[in-house]
């Protein structure tokens, strides 16, 4: 069985964070999403009584400019998983 899970985070770095520091902050959020994707496998394994393997993770970033404040960033993604029963047959 294959399962797709949506991942999302909204970040508003402080206006004092600029340039490479802003990129470092945004990369930390991306890393959190990858960690979240990884953390889903034990949950899915338990729910479906199957082994779990992450097959792909896609992360997307968009920026919204606000009139009176710093820009906000929406960092979203999807993670796909493959679940198999203990006898290695694909769980249906």
Q: What is the pLDDT of residue 29?
A: 85
In whole angstroms, give the CA distance from residue 54 to residue 11: 25
Per-residue pLDDT tens for 9-56? 766 666 667 778 888 888 888 899 999 999 999 999 999 999 999 999
**pLDDT band for position 91 (cuts 50, 70, 90):** very low
Tally the domains of the chain: 1
What range defines the domain where residue 61 resides? Answer: 2-84
Residue 92 placed within a domain: no
Q: What is the pLDDT of residue 89?
A: 55
Residue 80 placed within a domain: yes
Q: What does the DSSP 8-state code read for residue 15? A: T
Residue 18 placed within a domain: yes
At 23, which CATH number?
3.30.110
Residue 24 placed within a domain: yes
Q: What is the DSSP string of 35-76?
A: HHHHHHHHHHHHHHTSEEEEEEEEEEEEEE--SSS--EEEEE
Q: Which residues lie below 8 Å from residue 63, measured CB to CB, with a gap of 6+?
A: 71, 72, 73, 74
Given a cut of 50, whether residue 6 has pLDDT beyond it is: yes
How far, in Å, are 23, 49, 57, 80 from residue 46 at the CA level? Answer: 36, 5, 21, 17
In whole angstroms, give the CA distance from residue 2 to residue 55: 9
């Amino acid at each position: 069985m294959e399962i797709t899970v949506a991942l999302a985070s909204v970040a508003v770095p402080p206006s004092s964070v600029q340039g490479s520091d802003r990129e470092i902050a945004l990369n930390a959020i991306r890393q959190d999403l990858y960690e979240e994707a990884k953390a889903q496998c034990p949950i899915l394994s338990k729910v479906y009584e199957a082994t779990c393997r992450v097959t792909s993770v896609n992360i997307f970033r968009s920026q919204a400019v606000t009139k009176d404040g710093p820009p906000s960033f929406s960092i979203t993604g999807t993670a796909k998983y493959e679940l198999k029963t203990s006898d290695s047959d694909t769980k249906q």
